[in-house]
Amino acid sequence: MIDTADLTVHIVDDDAAVRDSLSLILSLRGYRTATFASAEQFLARVKPDWTGCVIADIRMPGLSGLEMQHELRARGIAMPVVIVTGHGDVASARAAFKADAVDFLEKPFDEHGPVHAVETAFARERARLAARGVARHREKSLAALSPREREVLDLLVEGLHNRDVAERLGISPRTVEVHKARVMEKLEARNLAELIRISQGTR
């Protein structure tokens, strides 16, 4: 189950007071936070398995928030990014959204701005993690199949009947039946249709 407790708000801002106050108010609202003084610092530490969202200032010495976002995407890190601007101009907002930012925050923040932005980002993150969870589960289940079970599954998915599968593999239809039951159990499929759908989801 994915919970807010597993998600972290990563705050990247060159202004110490801004990142400290933002971290304080978000933690008071029950979010876990981590702060970084520059885009470079964040990029040096970030791991692909980190989850949550990133709130990054668009204007920083060195890499800007937008450049950092490009770098994250290039590395395949899909955490949603909220861009903070000091002046809500159309150009930077457009650039932020073009770069796939989920939201953007204007300084000074309004009352519910930060929480709202984090919620938007987390909703996106949960959806992403849920999709990733299903996929991972499927992969794990398929990996649990024995080589013979895998062969049986492949042939069934191709549309062969039990008897044809038995003939092709040189085993008895009764054995095919047993393998099929084990496969359905391992993949948590209730019928043949589900079995096909689950197995195809990974191919």
Partner 1 sequence: VSPAATGGGRRALLAIGFVAGYVALDWLSYIHPLQQYGITPWNPQPALAIALLMFAGQRWLPLVAAAAAIAEAAVRGAPAGALATALFAAVLALCYAAIARALTGRFVISPELRAQRDVVRLVAVVTVGALVTGFLYIGALLATGVGPSTQPFTALVRFWIGDAVGVLVTLPVLLMAVLPARRAELRELLDRRAIFDALFLAGILALVFTAPVEQQLRFFYALFLPLVWMATRHGMVGASIATLVIQMTVIVVGEAGSYPALTIVELQTLLIALAVTGLFVGVTVDERRRAELQLRQSMRMRAAGEMAAALAHELNQPLTSLTTYARALRIIAEAPERDLALIARTVPKLVEEAERAAEVVSRLRDFFRTGATRLAPTRVEQAAGRVIESLQERATAAAVSLRLRAGAPPPVQADVVQLEIVLRNLIGNAIEAATPAPAPRAVEVAVDSDAEWLRVSVTDSGPGVPVGNLERVFEPFETSRATGMGMGLAISRAIIEAHGGRMWVEPGPPGVFRFTLPLREPA
Question: What residues line the site for partner 1 (CB under 8 A)?
Answer: 14-18, 20-22, 24-25, 28-29, 59-61, 86-87, 107-109, 111, 114
Q: What span, in angstroms and rounded, lies between the C-alpha atoms of 135 and 78?
A: 16
Residue whose token pair is 């610092």: 41
Using CA atoms, how far residue 93 sits from 58, 64, 98, 100, 113, in Å, is: 10, 14, 8, 11, 15
**Assigned token pair, 32:** 């876990």
Coil/strand/helix, residue 46: coil
Q: How far is the CB of 90 from partner 1 (least distance, A)?
A: 15
Q: Which CB, 14 or 177, lies closer to partner 1?
A: 14
Q: Which CB, 11 or 176, lies closer to partner 1?
A: 11
Q: How far is the CB of 47 from partner 1 (least distance, A)?
A: 26
Q: Which helix (H) or strand (E) holds 32?
A: strand 32-36
Q: Which CB, 47 or 87, lies closer to partner 1?
A: 87
Q: How far is the CB of 159 from partner 1 (least distance, A)?
A: 59
What does the DSSP 8-state code read for residue 106?
A: E
Q: How far is the CB of 106 from partner 1 (least distance, A)?
A: 9
Q: Which CB, 4 or 21, lies closer to partner 1?
A: 21
